[in-house]
Amino acid sequence: MHIGEIKTDKPSITLIEFDARGVTETLFESLEASRGHHANREKMWLNVYGLHDPTVMAEIGRRFKLHPLVQEDILNTQQRPKSDEYTDYQYIVARCFDFDTETRSLTSDQVSIVLGRNFVLTFQERATGAFEAVRERLRAEHGAMRAHGPDYLAYALLDTLVDRYFVMLDNLSDMAEDLEDEALSRPNPALLAEINRVKHEALVLRRAIWPLREILNTLSRADNGFFTADTRLYLRDIYDHTVHVLESLESVRDLLADLLDIYLSSVSNRLNTEVRILTVLTTLFMPATLIAGIFGMNFHTMPLLDDPEGFWIALGVMGGAATVMAAAFWRRNWLRTR
Amino acid sequence: MHIGEIKTDKPSITLIEFDARGVTETLFESLEASRGHHANREKMWLNVYGLHDPTVMAEIGRRFKLHPLVQEDILNTQQRPKSDEYTDYQYIVARCFDFDTETRSLTSDQVSIVLGRNFVLTFQERATGAFEAVRERLRAEHGAMRAHGPDYLAYALLDTLVDRYFVMLDNLSDMAEDLEDEALSRPNPALLAEINRVKHEALVLRRAIWPLREILNTLSRADNGFFTADTRLYLRDIYDHTVHVLESLESVRDLLADLLDIYLSSVSNRLNTEVRILTVLTTLFMPATLIAGIFGMNFHTMPLLDDPEGFWIALGVMGGAATVMAAAFWRRNWLRTR
Amino acid sequence: MHIGEIKTDKPSITLIEFDARGVTETLFESLEASRGHHANREKMWLNVYGLHDPTVMAEIGRRFKLHPLVQEDILNTQQRPKSDEYTDYQYIVARCFDFDTETRSLTSDQVSIVLGRNFVLTFQERATGAFEAVRERLRAEHGAMRAHGPDYLAYALLDTLVDRYFVMLDNLSDMAEDLEDEALSRPNPALLAEINRVKHEALVLRRAIWPLREILNTLSRADNGFFTADTRLYLRDIYDHTVHVLESLESVRDLLADLLDIYLSSVSNRLNTEVRILTVLTTLFMPATLIAGIFGMNFHTMPLLDDPEGFWIALGVMGGAATVMAAAFWRRNWLRTR
Amino acid sequence: MHIGEIKTDKPSITLIEFDARGVTETLFESLEASRGHHANREKMWLNVYGLHDPTVMAEIGRRFKLHPLVQEDILNTQQRPKSDEYTDYQYIVARCFDFDTETRSLTSDQVSIVLGRNFVLTFQERATGAFEAVRERLRAEHGAMRAHGPDYLAYALLDTLVDRYFVMLDNLSDMAEDLEDEALSRPNPALLAEINRVKHEALVLRRAIWPLREILNTLSRADNGFFTADTRLYLRDIYDHTVHVLESLESVRDLLADLLDIYLSSVSNRLNTEVRILTVLTTLFMPATLIAGIFGMNFHTMPLLDDPEGFWIALGVMGGAATVMAAAFWRRNWLRTR
Amino acid sequence: MHIGEIKTDKPSITLIEFDARGVTETLFESLEASRGHHANREKMWLNVYGLHDPTVMAEIGRRFKLHPLVQEDILNTQQRPKSDEYTDYQYIVARCFDFDTETRSLTSDQVSIVLGRNFVLTFQERATGAFEAVRERLRAEHGAMRAHGPDYLAYALLDTLVDRYFVMLDNLSDMAEDLEDEALSRPNPALLAEINRVKHEALVLRRAIWPLREILNTLSRADNGFFTADTRLYLRDIYDHTVHVLESLESVRDLLADLLDIYLSSVSNRLNTEVRILTVLTTLFMPATLIAGIFGMNFHTMPLLDDPEGFWIALGVMGGAATVMAAAFWRRNWLRTR
């Protein structure tokens, strides 16, 4: 049932119950352990890491009355971001990105958020720590966040994801600039493959943000009962952020497209340089070789041959011709190494 | 009347009647045989393979009161996917893809689905086995599927087709990656033709999915009496899948477009290498040839000529000049094989 | 008044009157001849070939009360396809294409169709025979067509035009494939001009179909009193055909765009081959020339000179060096003809 | 206040008053002269050439109660075509194009049209004569035009402008074809700059037509009280013309874009030719030079040296080698001049 | 809290109070100083330079009841231009551009405008002097501006920003033309990087204007209570200006895109020239070298060797061959320096 790479050994289920007065956190060791649990507070946030154990999903699905399609979508972690409205809950799929500093590449996980009247469920394959800041805000002593409904919590989670997009954007931008330097100084075909790889990563990021932008636009405009008018103002705000990320991402993509031109121009420049070196060499040696050939002819009557200085005069003419031609090239700026 | 390649010798007509209690399957040998048949169950699925016999279509059209245009569209197997609503049935055209592992190319057939209040008709030129899994689900002892109406059956058939699109996508993706390796290692014009062929196949696939996406979008949103609200949720789900396939297909198309750049860059890199070899050779031999020419001059007074070591000194100077130049190239990294 | 090339000497006016019982055809020699004519049947189709005689248009315009703008548009045969609705008639402009097999190019004529309550008028500059099949269907003994209204006749005429578009498409597709073969085997600048010519023809065809597609879409959706609901179903059908032609036309245009890449790559491949030949030649002759130069030096003490086999040894070394280098090239696959 | 190039020395103000019975034309020498003028007929057309005298605009603005923004827009002759509706008049900005046959370039002027209930005001910086034909139609004895309202006059003026766009289009098309010939026969960088210049002019033309098309579309659809239903039919007609010009303009732009490819291919073809000449020369001379070198070696025992025919044999071998190689090139078609 | 570069040391807060009778200006040294201030006139404009002191924003936010999201957006100076409507005020974000003549690059600042019923607040990080002209108009003795409401002041501020866009456009256009000259005369890879930099600046400018255009379109059409119908006419006017700037910007971007072609063509032209020089040199020296080689052969019987003029005849033949070939090149126009 679980479609996608398995990245976590054992599911980890955390329940955070909260209301204006306080927070209760519970880490369930097993499904059985959770059965005896009684609700402590008005609002709750259930977070699940690890999706490959189908019994967990089935149990949660049963308790929160999740539609079979929603359960299927949560388990299939290759979903495109989307938002589906059901009678009792709003189902939102988004993607959470990480940057692997070693391979200098983006990795991403699906984040499923189910927002009900008094609960939020979140599902991820891998524990990324992306939501730790939100947990901190819930735990904070005078946490204004606890006073808000679960819709504000859902907003805070989405906001966290969008903030990460800005970080990813910066990483891509840095990589693009490094590639530009390399394209100008050391063009080679491997670089082209690298440019295409980064282009592809920018595209993957774009594909995660683009539908989310549409989702946020819709959610922030229409009152569907799950988000209050006040929270919708905040959704509007992260909608603006997604528009901003997308625009900046276009800049990065433009830069990467320009890189190809720079690379090709760099390669063709190198060809010019090489042909130029060949031309210069030919130019410097050909006249000298001809002169040597001339004085190597076997005519009985030839000037200079008997002259004791003849040999040196001939060498001088060779050197002179080369010097004249080198000077001509010098004036045309051809002797620069570039 | 039949427009398109004939791929099946003889039409094969199968009737599957089903309701919550069970399934009855009948394979009709001929049209005449079918005339005496009496309905056994509430719901039925009539499947036809082979479309070139016009009497079969005419008979079915007459019995199910299909509009002449629908009959024409079923027989013309070059249709673009579309969905037309008639008073008594919904007519849907889609395409079923196969991957020929030998020629590494996609083949496709038109699938016509006619969904009535209590029947589903399907028409294909060739028996592909694509629907076998659906038949199995109908036959299954506790087949939940039999409890659903014919609209759910139509959904299941469309779902099967869309799942195949993902498989085709993977095949195209593999081919694109193979071509990338080849473009980097062995660029040749035949490769360019191959890249264009795969590009064309990706386009053919896209053209089959794009209109289907629109059809699914429309069917999943509007209640036209043929699909229940519950089934429409499932249509929405495969609509999401088509959007996902289309996006991934764009990635493959981008990759194929990039391939052209890689190919051209690979070719131009090769030109650079060849000019470089020419330059290196010229550089190593020209000075030596000049020196040989100099000592071949016929001046009476020339240094070294009488020196018993003169010949070897001259050879040494030749070798020295070549070595110095080779070293210069070495430092510029020109002696790499690439 | 007539704007466009004159292709017909003398206008030819044919009147076909028809109803469910039969058909009456009249060919008018002159305008005067037509004045005494009395209507024989309920429905009529007046066809005019040749538009440069303004009195014909004026007379017809007066009798059928055509708006001055419509008359002007009929005479200006460079119109973009369009559809204008007037109180008493629907005016439709489309284009009829022919393929000139000699020059391998498309030619096109404007077809103006005026659909009234009980008449259809058609105007063309040239008698192309495109509508002959429709005439045959009207004349057929049990002609179901005669039972339909003039709107069905107008549909049949448009259907005929759209079917021709498929033929044109095939012609363009064949030409594109021929050009591809030529680009791979014999790239030359004239080919590029030819590619651009075919691209332009594909564009001309597209421009004729694109607006017609919109017209058919509108006419098939909205009831404006000229087309019955039943005929509108048929219009929908040819609308689908125009969408299909347009998509296939995009494929041809893609192929033509790819041709440019193939052409350029073919040219650049040829450059590589030529530089390679130059390099191989230089490589084979330079060492030999150097060796000849060495043994041409005038040192008093040189090895081998007195050896009776010396000359042959020198030639052997020359041949050996060339062979070694040729072998090196052989391994790099450089001695292939391409 | 006047923004734009000043092209006229002195403003020229002409008043044409007309009704069904006749026309009265008055040319005002100065603003003062106009103050004593009394209206003669129902409808009037006031035309102003020359916009740099602010008092003229102020006076006209005051008399016809033009909004300050309208006055500003009339004086700023760099406006984008637009149409603004005010309570008492419709304000339309369009551009009038001329083709300078000497520099082969387009020039354009802003034409401001103010259409009131019984007047039309037109403003231009330069007297182009573009409206002379309209004046003639007003003056014509049985001038049907005089019977129409000022809205028809405004239509006639716009029609005149749009007709000029067709002429400009033809000029651009001719220039593009001339450039194509030159790109194939004499590619040079100045040509590239010329191609870009024509591309830019096509863009300038497009920018003048595109917004006008939108304006005509809006005016022809909506009844805003200034254009009668009948005149709106005529506006629809010129709307169709603008669509047609825009499409043809796209063809010209495509052709110009293709020109770049032709130019680059022509340049790269030339490179191939030059490398080929180099290769042919090297091929013809290298073997001969080697043979000369071989017989220049100083071995004591060498064949042919004592043969009185030896020299001629050697020359024959040189010529033979060159002939064989030339024949090989001939077969590969390399000796064509192209 | 402040996101963006800090460009100002100390916040500078200026209050301009105005009504039809006059203006009162106050520069607050500190927040405390402002606390004792009493309103003098009906309408006020509070301008803040420097945003990094959070207490200033907090105080102003508290007094004018700004929503926390608005305060956040004002401090985050990397916002995309946008317009948000709140109950008591309209919040508008735009960007103010400057051209740094030394580095020849654009710099930009965020301008936040809060328009209330009787006040305008403006926030900028840096004091650019952009609004000085508006202040002058407010101070002018017969200042018509003071009679208008704060909405007209907000319009005037936006108008000032849009006027600056035209100046930026001219700067970019000049830079593009300089680059074109350089691409034709001195192509080098650094130029390509420069072209890309200017392209990027044009994009940055476009991204500032594009959303503003949408904002102005919306504000000028809909009555939301903050802008009067009269002021909305003026907003429509600057909306037209933004459309105009955007179109001209597209021209500049087209020109920059063409520059790449010119650059690449210039580089490839240079390659042709260099290969040509190589070919000419080879052509001039190869025959001469061959002739020298021929007369350097050691045949006993050779013509001319004993001829006292032989040497000079040989030199003449060498010169003659070179002359003939040079003439051939001359006719092909190959000896031009270009």
- Tens of pLDDT, residue by residue over E52-109, are 888 888 999 999 999 999 999 999 988 899 999 999 999 999 999 999 989 999 999 9
| Interval A213-272: pLDDT, tens | 999 999 999 888 899 999 999 999 999 999 999 999 998 998 898 888 888 888 877 788
**Are B298 and C297 inside 8 Å of each other by CB?**
no
Q: Distances from the Cα of A146 to the Cαs of A134, A233, E142, in angstroms?
A: 11, 18, 57
Is the CB of B249 inside 8 Å of chain A's CB atoms? no
- For residues E19 and E45, what is the distance between their CA atoms, to the nearest angstrom? 11
| Interval B63-81: pLDDT, tens | 999 999 999 999 998 889 9
> C33 falls in which pLDDT band (50, 70, 90)?
confident
Percent of chain E with pLDDT over 70: 97
Select from C170, C277, C290, C334 the residue whose CB has the most chain B CBs within 10 Å, as the one to mutate to test that interface: C290
- Specify the 3-state DSSP secondary structure of C116: strand
Q: Identify all chain B residues contacting C186, using CB atoms and an 8 Å cutoff.
A: none
Cβ B47 vs Cβ B113: under 8 Å:
no
Q: Which residue has the higher pLDDT, C82 or E40?
A: C82
Residues facing residue E122 across a β-bridge:
E47, E113
Q: Chain centroid to CA C281: how far? A: 47
Cβ C73 vs Cβ C112: under 8 Å:
yes
> C189 falls in which pLDDT band (50, 70, 90)?
confident
Select from B159, B220, B235, B265 the residue whose CB has the most chain A CBs within 10 Å, as the one to mutate to test that interface: B265
> D295 falls in which pLDDT band (50, 70, 90)?
very high
Q: B168: which 2 tokens?
A: 């085709």
Is the CB of C196 inside 8 Å of chain D's CB atoms? yes
- Residue in chain A nearest B250 by alpha carbon: A203
Nearest-CB residue to B296 (from C247, C282, C298): C298
Is the CB of D233 inside 8 Å of chain E's CB atoms? no
Is the CB of E276 inside 8 Å of chain D's CB atoms? yes
Q: E164: which 2 tokens?
A: 């600056």
Residues facing residue A124 across a β-bridge:
A49
Burial class (CB in 10 A: 0-12, 13-18, 19+), D107: middle
Nearest-CB residue to C207 (from D247, D278, D283): D247
Is the CB of E202 inside 8 Å of chain A's CB atoms? no
Residues 6+ apart with CB under 8 A from A188: none
Cβ D238 vs Cβ D158: under 8 Å:
yes
**Are C67 and D272 inside 8 Å of each other by CB?**
no
Cβ C46 vs Cβ C122: under 8 Å:
yes
Backbone angles phi, psi at E94, to 5 degrees: -135, 175
**What is the pLDDT at residue B273?**
80
**Are D269 and C203 inside 8 Å of each other by CB?**
no
Q: Is B333 left (phi over 0), alpha (psi -120 to 50) or beta?
A: left
- Residue in chain E nearest D197 by alpha carbon: E255
Q: C219: which 2 tokens?
A: 């006419």
- For residues E20 and A291, what is the distance between their CA atoms, to the nearest angstrom? 96
- Specify the 3-state DSSP secondary structure of A206: helix
Is the CB of D295 inside 8 Å of chain E's CB atoms? yes
Q: Which residue has the higher pLDDT, B254 or C187?
A: B254
- For residues D237 and C67, what is the distance between their CA atoms, to the nearest angstrom? 12
**What is the pLDDT at residue B336?**
61
**Are A311 and B289 inside 8 Å of each other by CB?**
no
Nearest-CB residue to A234 (from E69, E264, E281): E69
> C315 falls in which pLDDT band (50, 70, 90)?
very high
Backbone angles phi, psi at D123, to 5 degrees: -130, 135
- Residue in chain D nearest E283 by alpha carbon: D281
Query: Amino acid identity of B309?
Result: E
**Are E311 and A293 inside 8 Å of each other by CB?**
no
C-beta pairs of A19-28 under 8 Å, 24+ apart in sequence: A19/A43, A19/A146, A20/A146, A20/A147, A21/A146, A22/A146, A23/A138, A23/A139, A23/A143, A23/A146, A25/A139
Nearest-CB residue to A296 (from B271, B286, B296): B296
- For residues D137 and D147, what is the distance between their CA atoms, to the nearest angstrom? 12
**What is the pLDDT at residue B31?**
76
Q: Is the pLDDT of residue E9 over 90?
A: no
Find the distance separating the first CA and the last CA of chain C, reported in whole Å: 60
- Specify the 3-state DSSP secondary structure of E16: strand
- Chains touching chain C through at least 3 C-beta pairs below 8 angstroms are B, D
**What is the pLDDT at residue A217?**
95
Residue B76 is classified by DSSP as: B
- Chains touching chain E through at least 3 C-beta pairs below 8 angstroms are A, D
Neighbour order of strands in the sheet with E82-85: E22-28, E12-19, E43-49, E119-124, E105-116, E89-100, E82-85
Q: Identify all chain B residues contacting C278, using CB atoms and an 8 Å cutoff.
A: 278
**Are A299 and E304 inside 8 Å of each other by CB?**
yes
Q: Is the pLDDT of residue D31 over 90?
A: no
- For residues E90 and E87, what is the distance between their CA atoms, to the nearest angstrom? 8
Is the CB of C300 inside 8 Å of chain B's CB atoms? yes
- For residues B79 and A66, what is the distance between their CA atoms, to the nearest angstrom? 39
Burial class (CB in 10 A: 0-12, 13-18, 19+), E27: exposed
Q: Is the pLDDT of residue E207 over 90?
A: yes
Nearest-CB residue to C269 (from B67, B78, B267): B267
- For residues B233 and B235, what is the distance between their CA atoms, to the nearest angstrom? 5
> C21 falls in which pLDDT band (50, 70, 90)?
confident
Residues facing residue C47 across a β-bridge:
C14, C122
Nearest-CB residue to B207 (from C247, C264, C299): C247
Q: Is the pLDDT of residue D223 over 90?
A: no
Average per-residue pLDDT in chain E?
A: 89
- Chains touching chain D through at least 3 C-beta pairs below 8 angstroms are C, E
Residue A225 is classified by DSSP as: S
**Are E297 and D304 inside 8 Å of each other by CB?**
no
Per residue, the 3-state secondary structure of chain D, as one string, reads: CCECCCCCCCCEEEEEEEECCEEEEEEECCHHHHHCCCCCCCEEEEEEECCCCHHHHHHHHHHCCCCHHHHHHHHECCCCCEEEECCCEEEEEEEEEEEECCCCEEEEEEEEEEEECCEEEEEECCCCCCCHHHHHHHHCCCCHHHHCCHHHHHHHHHHHHHHHHHHHHHHHHHHHHHHHHHHHHCCCHHHHHHHHHHHHHHHHHHHHHHHHHHHHHHHHHCCCCCCCHHHHHHHHHHHHHHHHHHHHHHHHHHHHHHHHHHHHHHHHHHHHHHHHHHHHHHHHHHHHHHHHHHHCCCCCCCCCCCCCCHHHHHHHHHHHHHHHHHHHHHHCCCCCCC
Give the highest mean pLDDT range of B80-94, B315-329, D15-29.
B80-94
**Are E236 and D298 inside 8 Å of each other by CB?**
no
Is the CB of D296 inside 8 Å of chain C's CB atoms? yes
- Residue in chain D nearest C67 by alpha carbon: D233
Nearest-CB residue to E300 (from D69, D305, D314): D305
| Interval D61-81: pLDDT, tens | 999 999 999 999 999 988 899
Largest CA distance in chain B: 122
Rounded mean pLDDT, C165-184: 92
Q: Which residue has the higher pLDDT, B189 or A181?
A: A181
| Interval D171-208: pLDDT, tens | 999 999 999 888 888 777 778 888 989 999 999 999 99
> B312 falls in which pLDDT band (50, 70, 90)?
very high
| Tokens 């890491």 found at | A49
Is the CB of A86 inside 8 Å of chain B's CB atoms? no
Is the CB of B257 inside 8 Å of chain C's CB atoms? no
Interface predicted TM-score (ipTM): 0.78
Of B213, B271, B207, B211, nearest to B242 by C-alpha is: B213
Q: A67: which 2 tokens?
A: 């539609």
| CA angle, residues C10, C15, C16, in degrees to nearest 5 | 140
Give the highest mean pLDDT range of C119-133, E155-169, E192-206, E312-326.
E155-169
B178 Cα to chain A: minimum distance (Å): 14
- For residues D41 and D18, what is the distance between their CA atoms, to the nearest angstrom? 6
**Are C272 and B277 inside 8 Å of each other by CB?**
no
**What is the pLDDT at residue E258?**
85
Q: Is the pLDDT of residue E204 over 90?
A: yes
Q: Distances from the Cα of C335 to the Cαs of C330, D121, E300, in angstroms?
A: 6, 79, 40
Domains of chain A: 1-144 (3.30.460.20), 267-331 (1.20.58.340)
Is the CB of D289 inside 8 Å of chain C's CB atoms? yes
**What is the pLDDT at residue B335?**
65
| Interval A86-107: pLDDT, tens | 999 999 999 999 999 899 999 9
**H or E element at residue E66:** none
Average per-residue pLDDT in chain B?
A: 89
**What is the pLDDT at residue A259?**
87
Q: Identify all chain D residues contacting E148, using CB atoms and an 8 Å cutoff.
A: none
- Specify the 3-state DSSP secondary structure of C15: strand
Q: Is the pLDDT of residue B155 over 70?
A: yes
Average per-residue pLDDT in chain D?
A: 89
- Residue in chain C nearest D246 by alpha carbon: C80
Is the CB of B313 inside 8 Å of chain C's CB atoms? no
Number of Cβ atoms within 10 Å of the Cβ of A66: 23
- Residue in chain B nearest A190 by alpha carbon: B184
- Residue in chain A nearest B284 by alpha carbon: A281
Q: Is the pLDDT of residue C17 over 60?
A: yes
- For residues A52 and A71, what is the distance between their CA atoms, to the nearest angstrom? 12
Size of interface B-C (CB pairs under 8 A): 121
Query: Amino acid identity of A108?
Result: S
Q: Is the pLDDT of residue A303 over 90?
A: no
Rounded mean pLDDT, A118-123: 95
Q: Is the pLDDT of residue C68 over 60?
A: yes
**Are E79 and A251 inside 8 Å of each other by CB?**
no
| Tokens 């927002």 found at | A115
- For residues E336 and E322, what is the distance between their CA atoms, to the nearest angstrom? 17
Percent of chain E with pLDDT over 90: 54
| Interval D36-55: pLDDT, tens | 788 888 999 999 998 888 88
D309 Cα to chain C: minimum distance (Å): 19
Length of chain A: 338
Residues 6+ apart with CB under 8 A from C309: none
Q: Which residue has the higher pLDDT, A273 or A49?
A: A49
**Are E196 and A251 inside 8 Å of each other by CB?**
no
**What is the pLDDT at residue D337?**
52
**What is the pLDDT at residue D335?**
66
- For residues A281 and A325, what is the distance between their CA atoms, to the nearest angstrom? 10
